[in-house]
Chain A
Amino acid sequence: MAQAQRWVGKPIPRRDALEKAIGQAKYASDLFPEGLLWGKVLRSKYPHAKIRRIDVSSAKSHPGVVAVFTHEDVPNNRYGLFNKDRPVLCDDKVRYIGDPIAVVAAETPEAAEEALGMIEVEYEPLPAVLDPLEAMKPESPKVHERGNIARQTRISFGDVEQAFREADVIVENTYTVGTQIHAYLETEAGISYFDENGRLTIVAGGQSPYRDRHEICSTLNIPEDSVRVVIPHVGGAFGGKDDISVQIHLALITLKTRRPARLVWTREESTIAGTKRHAGIIRMKTAARRDGVLLANKTEIIYDTGAYEGLGPAVLDVAIENCNGPYKIPNIDISATLVYTNNYVASAFRGFGAPQVLFAIESQLDAIAERLNMDPIELRLRNALRRGDVGVFNNKLIGSVGIAKALEIAANHELWRERGRYKSETARPWIKRGVGVASAIKGYTLGALPDKGQVGVELTREGKFRVRVSSTEIGQGVLAALAQVAADMLRCGVDDIQLVFADTLETPDTSVTSASRQLFLAGNALADAARKMLDKMRHVAAGLSGEPPEVFDFLDGYAISRDGKTRISYAEIARYMENNNIPPHVVGEYEVPRVEPIPGTLEIPHLFYMFAAALALVEVNTLTGFAQVRKLVVIPDAGKVINPQTFQGQIEGAAVQGIGYALMEEAKIENGILKTQNFATYLIPSIKDAPEIEVIPVEDGEETGPFGAKGIGEIGIIPIAPAVANAIKDAVGVRPTSIPITPEKLYWLIRSKHGEKGSH
């Protein structure tokens, strides 16, 4: 797009920064509608049990209680984005500890809490299915009638067995990855009420107002135009608010009682009933030639999706798509299985199935480099995908591919060139240092699934613009970025852009805020809208001036004729439109280009991929097993950075979340019981655990993106765990194959290699 960039690329302070810092921004959990009822959810005590009887009569008789709802109040009691396997309120069975059974609506939170204790549920406990490998056996108890294999597929290209016979080096490992919890600052929260027009309104943290509305209406069997869903500022989502949480329960309370309601999950409810990142087992056998050229990769992926699928089938696709890394590998064979168990519910989480498999393949690459005695970056560069290459699925890479450039930056970085010096700088004999590298790849957009979004643009009477998007502001800064893009497209000041967001009544459907593509999707739809709006304005300028429309261009809020003699302000144009009944709004649309999915998959391959490389300097205390990340260098392929400040923040945040994933974040589930229900036991990195992080963008431009931008939301987390693991291997000589690499795990691993203490 050949437009001047006055705002794009500038570190403009985010418009929500101040209001968030001083506590003015309203999140769903800040809202207390007048006359509200307090909602509370009764949750299952068993990981797996039949429900024999639910008796709510005594709870209903509590003086403060207005209503108690069960599955009998839900007309269509199953929902789900791929497979409607999840009950709004459990009827036949409970499938994890925390599965919702009843919803109480009461005048006070105390009454709601007390009433929960008065609901009688008679269970018939069933054997719990806790191990995904056990779950896959036909004789295992079934979580769902259709069996425990939610999805299974196999994708092969070439002939891996032949390649293994010809290979000079073969590395084979089994990797295990733990369950990560989103741990957002704001738990799942919302309110509900009937608005002045009698429309059922749900204001709740989420990632897609239209999809949430669809789930509400399909389960409660009410028309979509009778419901409004608003998503205000969200205190973190990371994919965890892609699925339904409080929305249907709130709608149920208000629909049946005709009163406003509030439902905010406690931290414990959030860790228990919120979705999680898939734990998994990944077996990988990778072959290379002596010169480092990769020949084959055979992968078996088993992901534990827990009690319900959620977005699991798509997560599995992303695992399949990225398990070969950003490399050309002529022979691949992938078996992938999504398994039901009674271990809570796994669904979307930043990276969406990719961080697990990238941990595996990037560890494999390091092991191959070691066997070949080759520089790990050189090995990666030798095999790195480049633009125009054909990928592992025989898919041509038409978008920008920045991985080679990112790896070259890594190779030339001081931390890599002088890693010998960095490693020697330790003051205690038991402290060992290492430097590791890893690459990352993940598609952005919804891949082969249809994906279309709309953006509305309206010229206000004052000559400013109102931009309407259903994108959700989950902390990533999409609104600020879109304002910058809109200001450059509409040729005005960034402060002349007002954004209306995430409201099914006020904003068109810009599709879900996920898959790192809201800026890409909304930005492109915005470009279409801006074209239409400027065209409209050009004709108005012509009408006002008597000059032909094509002489007008736009700058700084004025239509200006080519000779510069005629200048008409946007406000004049707006007034003219109003006086002549010309509608001052347009809707732009963008449909994401896609290809047909390859057989055996749902949504892959993508046409557009993100890439990144990362370097990690890690210090290991061999006497405790504690690994500390001292420095990270993250090099994302950004296309074009719209706002450097927001970009840096987003990459740093992802990197720290990646450190958590690599080293400490672990939902410990024993016998179906989550042992880490709060932040005293579920450990996320503290500020002291966040190292110096250097972010170096590759900005090669993506022609299809707004001003050359591509997705960035997820890629920052993906290379961190393998870079940290590879640094640990470099430091202590043992390769961690299980994340998180907690101190105790690493300590025993070091002990198993080096024997008794004191022998370091």
Chain B
Amino acid sequence: MLLYDIDVITPSSLDEALEILSSRKGRVKVVAGGTDLIIQMKDGIIPRMDLLNIYGLDELRYIKLDDNDVIRIGALTSFSEIAGSEIIRRYAKILAEAASTVGSIQIMNKASIGGNIVNASPAADSLPPLYALDAIVKVASSRGFREVPIESFYRGYKKLDLAEDELVCEVRLRAMSDDEDGVFLKHGLRLGDAIAVVNAAIWVKRDNRSGLFSDARVALGAVAPTVVRARRCEQLIINRRLDDDSMWSAARAVLESISPIDDVRGSAEYRREMSVNLVYMGLWELTHRSG
């Protein structure tokens, strides 16, 4: 389908963008890098609509670490910028790892973290790390700002806690400290430019005296309508002595949290096995690192 009859409105500030969003509520679709949206519109997956092109709003393009150890990432920040950021690599490394596998160099240059959040693909590579790092999504509208924990931002398959006049403007994380660790895992069908069959992120906090994990968060993508936290698995990690058997047991517990489907990339049964195996591999890595 050709998109020749679609209007593109390009605001010059966030305020102007929010005004347009508010006045043309539901009749305009926000586009940033467009790497998902344009394809979906051409394929008729989402309705044809005029576009609000916020790609030029540089005020939404930043990575900052403030004095309270909070990392703020502007919604338009590209995955190339995230993958290459010293701040992210040091204090949110699992997000940096995920960002570097999102797609080709061209996609990474163009696609933004805000777009990835709003597109809400269950297989989005940035989301499991954001879940594992307990990220907060900041939403703007002409009515003001609002903050939503990432997990409650998603209400179902591609269903967001986002009103028609609202825009995701920032995502916020707490910087990881020295006693925290994490892994990002992605199983794709090729090494480069792959959409995940399953992806996962694990965050742990080490108790330096016992050597055990005093806290943990495990999130998986592409295995449910939204990214999911594997809470039963987390319970089996926290404050337990982890040997090979107990890691397998914890990994198998992710099955309680997922509900994968068959698609062109893999069967549901395969995704179940991959979820378990990916989490096992992640736990193995974490337990074999110094700690």
Tell me the A residues contacting B by CB distance below 8 Å: 109-110, 113, 428, 430, 623-624, 626, 628, 664, 668, 675-676, 680-681, 683, 685-689, 742-744, 747-748, 751, 757-758
When the two chains form their complex, are residues A687 and B192 in contact, meaning their CB atoms are under 8 A apart? yes
Query: Residue B154 at the A interface, CB < 8 A?
Result: no
Query: Residue B46 at the A interface, CB < 8 A?
Result: no
Known contacts A623-B277, A743-B187: A686-B192 contact under CB 8 Å = yes
Known contacts A744-B266, A758-B244: A113-B192 contact under CB 8 Å = no
Min Cβ gap A517→B in Å is: 33
11 A-B pairs besides A686-B104, A688-B193 with CB distance below 8 A are A109-B2, A110-B2, A110-B4, A624-B187, A628-B191, A743-B189, A744-B267, A747-B270, A757-B248, A757-B276, A758-B248
**Interchain CA distance A623-B280 in the complex, whole Å:** 9
Query: Residue B281 at the A interface, CB < 8 A?
Result: yes
- Which of B189, B197, B274, B280 sits near A664, CB closer than 8 Å? B189
CB proximity to A under 8 Å, residues B176-202? 187, 189-195, 197
When the two chains form their complex, are residues A683 and B190 in contact, meaning their CB atoms are under 8 A apart? yes
- Specify which of B270, B276, B284 lies most central, judged by the most chain A CB atoms within 10 Å of its CB: B270
Known contacts A110-B2, A110-B4: A680-B195 contact under CB 8 Å = yes
Residue pairs across A and B with Cβ atoms less than 8 A apart, 23 shown, are A110-B2, A623-B278, A623-B280, A624-B274, A624-B278, A664-B190, A675-B264, A676-B264, A683-B190, A683-B194, A686-B104, A686-B191, A686-B194, A689-B190, A742-B189, A743-B187, A743-B197, A744-B266, A744-B270, A751-B273, A757-B273, A757-B277, A758-B248
When the two chains form their complex, are residues A681 and B248 in contact, meaning their CB atoms are under 8 A apart? no
Q: Which residues does chain A contribute within 8 Å of B267, judged by CB atoms?
A: 744
Q: Which residues does chain A contribute within 8 Å of B197, judged by CB atoms?
A: 743
- Which of A109, A624, A685 sits near B190, CB closer than 8 Å? A685
Q: Which residues does chain A contribute within 8 Å of B5, judged by CB atoms?
A: 110
**Interchain CA distance A744-B265 in the complex, whole Å:** 9
Min Cβ gap A745→B in Å is: 10
CB proximity to A under 8 Å, residues B182-233? 187, 189-195, 197
Q: Which residues does chain B contribute within 8 Å of A675, judged by CB atoms?
A: 264
Chain A's closest residue to B271 (CB) is A744
Min Cβ gap B96→A in Å is: 17
Chain B's closest residue to A756 (CB) is B248
**Interchain CA distance A128-B270 in the complex, whole Å:** 29
Chain A's closest residue to B248 (CB) is A758
User: What 0/1 readout, one digit per residue, does chain B (1-38) give for beta carbons within 8 Å of chain A?
Assistant: 11011000000000000000000000000000000000
When the two chains form their complex, are residues A113 and B244 in contact, meaning their CB atoms are under 8 A apart? no
When the two chains form their complex, are residues A623 and B281 in contact, meaning their CB atoms are under 8 A apart? yes
Q: Which residues does chain A contribute within 8 Å of B104, judged by CB atoms?
A: 686
Q: Which residues does chain B contribute within 8 Å of A624, judged by CB atoms?
A: 187, 274, 277-278
- Which of A683, A748, A751, A758 sits near B189, CB closer than 8 Å? A683
Q: Which residues does chain B contribute within 8 Å of A623, judged by CB atoms?
A: 277-278, 280-281
Q: Which residues does chain A contribute within 8 Å of B189, judged by CB atoms?
A: 626, 664, 683, 742-743
**Interchain CA distance A428-B248 in the complex, whole Å:** 16
The count of residues in chain B whose C-beta lies closer than 8 Å to any C-beta of chain A is 29
**Interchain CA distance A668-B264 in the complex, whole Å:** 8
Min Cβ gap B169→A in Å is: 29
**Interchain CA distance A428-B194 in the complex, whole Å:** 23
Q: Which residues does chain B contribute within 8 Å of A680, judged by CB atoms?
A: 195
Q: Which residues does chain B contribute within 8 Å of A428, judged by CB atoms?
A: 281, 284
Q: Which residues does chain B contribute within 8 Å of A668, judged by CB atoms?
A: 264
When the two chains form their complex, are residues B244 and A686 in contact, meaning their CB atoms are under 8 A apart? no
Q: Which residues does chain B contribute within 8 Å of A683, judged by CB atoms?
A: 189-190, 194
Q: Which residues does chain A contribute within 8 Å of B278, judged by CB atoms?
A: 623-624
Q: Which residues does chain B contribute within 8 Å of A751, judged by CB atoms?
A: 273
- Which of B192, B244, B248, B273 sits near A747, CB closer than 8 Å? B273
Min Cβ gap A271→B in Å is: 13
Min Cβ gap B48→A in Å is: 13
Q: Which residues does chain A contribute within 8 Å of B264, judged by CB atoms?
A: 668, 675-676, 681
Chain A's closest residue to B193 (CB) is A686
Closest 5 CB pairs of A and B: A686-B192, A688-B192, A688-B191, A623-B277, A686-B193
**Interchain CA distance A675-B262 in the complex, whole Å:** 13
**Interchain CA distance A428-B288 in the complex, whole Å:** 10
When the two chains form their complex, are residues B274 and A689 in contact, meaning their CB atoms are under 8 A apart? no
**Interchain CA distance A349-B191 in the complex, whole Å:** 25
**Interchain CA distance A562-B189 in the complex, whole Å:** 66
Min Cβ gap A728→B in Å is: 16
Q: Which residues does chain B contribute within 8 Å of A628, judged by CB atoms?
A: 191
Q: Which residues does chain B contribute within 8 Å of A757, judged by CB atoms?
A: 248, 273, 276-277, 280
Chain A's closest residue to B267 (CB) is A744
Min Cβ gap A501→B in Å is: 32
Min Cβ gap A688→B in Å is: 3
Q: Which residues does chain A contribute within 8 Å of B248, judged by CB atoms?
A: 757-758
Q: Which residues does chain A contribute within 8 Å of B194, judged by CB atoms?
A: 683, 686
**Interchain CA distance A249-B284 in the complex, whole Å:** 59
- Specify which of A113, A430, A623, A748 lies most central, judged by the most chain B CB atoms within 10 Å of its CB: A623
Min Cβ gap A595→B in Å is: 44
**Interchain CA distance A681-B193 in the complex, whole Å:** 11
CB proximity to A under 8 Å, residues B225-268? 244, 248, 264-267
- Specify which of A110, A743, A747, A748 lies most central, judged by the most chain B CB atoms within 10 Å of its CB: A743
When the two chains form their complex, are residues B190 and A113 in contact, meaning their CB atoms are under 8 A apart? no
User: What 0/1 readout, one digit per residue, does chain B (74-112) give for beta carbons within 8 Å of chain A?
Assistant: 000000000000000000000000000000100000000
**Interchain CA distance A252-B126 in the complex, whole Å:** 51
Chain B's closest residue to A680 (CB) is B195
**Interchain CA distance A683-B195 in the complex, whole Å:** 10
**Interchain CA distance A79-B61 in the complex, whole Å:** 57
Chain B's closest residue to A624 (CB) is B187
When the two chains form their complex, are residues B281 and A113 in contact, meaning their CB atoms are under 8 A apart? no
Min Cβ gap B276→A in Å is: 7
**Interchain CA distance A109-B2 in the complex, whole Å:** 9
**Interchain CA distance A757-B189 in the complex, whole Å:** 20
Chain B's closest residue to A628 (CB) is B191
**Interchain CA distance A676-B195 in the complex, whole Å:** 14
Known contacts A743-B187, A747-B270, A758-B244: A689-B276 contact under CB 8 Å = no
Chain A's closest residue to B281 (CB) is A623
**Interchain CA distance A751-B2 in the complex, whole Å:** 46
Min Cβ gap A749→B in Å is: 12
Q: Which residues does chain A contribute within 8 Å of B195, judged by CB atoms?
A: 680
**Interchain CA distance A742-B267 in the complex, whole Å:** 12
When the two chains form their complex, are residues A689 and B280 in contact, meaning their CB atoms are under 8 A apart? no
**Interchain CA distance A609-B135 in the complex, whole Å:** 62
**Interchain CA distance A430-B284 in the complex, whole Å:** 11
- Which of B2, B4, B265, B281 sits near A430, CB closer than 8 Å? B281
Min Cβ gap B223→A in Å is: 14
Min Cβ gap A754→B in Å is: 13
Min Cβ gap B92→A in Å is: 23
Q: Which residues does chain B contribute within 8 Å of A430, judged by CB atoms?
A: 281
Q: Which residues does chain A contribute within 8 Å of B281, judged by CB atoms?
A: 428, 430, 623
When the two chains form their complex, are residues A626 and B187 in contact, meaning their CB atoms are under 8 A apart? yes
Min Cβ gap B26→A in Å is: 26
Chain B's closest residue to A740 (CB) is B189
**Interchain CA distance A683-B197 in the complex, whole Å:** 13
Q: Which residues does chain B contribute within 8 Å of A626, judged by CB atoms?
A: 187, 189
